[in-house]
Amino acid sequence: MFRILFVIHYFLLFLYSSSLISPIPLDIEYNEQKALLGKKLFFERSFSKDDTISCASCHLLESGGDDGLKFSVGVEGRFGNINAPTVYNSFFNIAQFWDGRAKDLEEQALGPIHNPVEMDSDIITVIEKLKKNKEYVELFKKIYNDEIKSEYIQNAIMEFEKALITPNSRFDRFLRGEEDILEPIEKKGFEAFKKYGCISCHNGINIGGNIFQKFGIFKEHSDHVNFGRFSVTKNEDDLYYFKVPTLRNISKTAPYFHDGGVKTLKGAIETMAEYQLGQEIPDDDIEAIYKFLLTLDGQIPEIAK
């Protein structure tokens, strides 16, 4: 029954697919002072137990906003069991983390600090470390008119990550009316992207990130380590449901999926066709979709440089 409903859902979306994706705004309002403090905190290694890991360790801003690894490396060389998502454009997501356990970026900021595999610390210890740094004491006093507190740390990091949008991709320019900005094969890829139903899950301003979907609709996936939304809700109907990842800058964020199980973008397209769409897509359409996805690379914001 679920598969039948999904197919009906797909065809309804296809009928109205021309307006399902919105371009990223060319700029976004944020508090610059707080964002610059958040940037400093983003690179702060004292967040971790052994002063070796920062947010930037797993979210490389000079590339795709992730670390390019199947699983990230935390304190003492510990490996996690889920792929690090990109931090770019994360402000537009419906929730944070693959399972959506954090409702927004402020709540998300504490997650890695307390995770025993990632930073293996706690916010009280982090605050005590920061208070020993005169520059931080002065910055928090200047910006928040108070001493260093957890809510200010979270807020500053949120303001920085809010600023990490990548606008003005060639596809965004196409959506804004520059018809000739895309090559014919890229336009063909967008049509195929709609025709096969990729747009049924990858839509909205982030071309993903706005819904949860089961990984393995038409074919069961072999990963039985990560349970997706079920880990949060304990509702069996949420088993293996994950936040649909953004396709923004997708060419720079390999390996793919929550398990980091696919190394190439073309391989990811084939996997999606098999597991999510129950189809075998011809090679020429895979190539066209691949070319379309390359047009989703946006501009790295100045604050990230």
Active site residues: 118
How far apart CA 250 and CA 86 sit, in angstroms, is 9
Chain-centre distance for alpha carbon 271? 19
Residue 202 to residues 22, 33, 248: CA-CA distances in angstroms? 11, 34, 10
How far apart CA 56 and CA 269 sit, in angstroms, is 28
Pick the closest to residue 75 from 42, 119, 113, 44 (CA basis): 119
Do residues 140 and 147 touch, judged by C-beta distance below 8 A? yes
- Please tell me whether the peptide bond between 184 and the residue prior to it is cis, using omega within 30 degrees of 0: no
Residue 287 sits at φ, ψ, to 5 deg, of -65, -40
3-class secondary-structure state, position 97 = coil
Count of positions (residues) in the chain? 305
Residue 137 CB-half CA count within 13 A = 6
